[in-house]
Amino acid sequence: MNHAARTKYFRSHLPATIEDFVWWSNLNIGECKAAVATIDSELIKKPHNGTVYYIHRDCRIKGLRYKTLLLPPYDEYLLGYKTRHHVIEDEFRHRAYSNNGLFYPVIISNGQIVGNWHPKKSAVFFRDEYATDINNLLQSYHNFMNY
């Protein structure tokens, strides 16, 4: 894997672990550790609960705003990481992706997966307290798709 690909992964997936990088790259753990070592000076290491998370020093998080987003199935927000427990409660995991590799359209609010949406239907939230007003988002999508 070339330098640009290593750098791009850690700039676009943050924070990420070695295990996430193995999952995404399909390389073995040794190859990934060697790849990370070559860009070590570009990475900030943040240990948390026994796991080291890497953040690229040039990551672009300035101006990041927490908001509600509609994500399509197979979005990198889910695919780019080996474990997804930081963004979805385990009891709702099956509503975002299946054990067979199917991923569903999800609603993100403040970085967390809080529900599902359908291009031609309304949204379904996992819990009442997650409900946000996404009517404008859905209407924009429907207008764009001419539904």
* Structure tokens belonging to residue 117: 């949406």
Domain(s) labelled CATH 1.10.10 in the chain stretch across 3-56
| CA 142 to chain CA mean position, Å | 24
Neighbours of 113 (CB within 10 A): 24
Give the span between the Cα atoms of 121 and 126, in whole angstroms. 16
Q: Which of 112, 116, 114, 109 is nearest to 73 (CA)?
A: 116
Alpha helices in 13-58 (DSSP H): 18-25, 29-38
Per-residue pLDDT of the chain (147 residues; tens, 9 = 90+): 788 888 889 988 888 999 999 999 999 999 999 999 999 999 999 998 899 999 999 876 655 566 888 899 999 888 888 888 888 999 999 999 998 889 999 998 888 899 999 877 878 888 888 777 777 778 888 888 876
Pick from 50, 63, 48, 62: nearest CA to 15: 48
Per-residue model confidence (pLDDT) at position 104? 94
Architecture of the domain made up of 3-56: Orthogonal Bundle (1.10)
pTM: 0.69
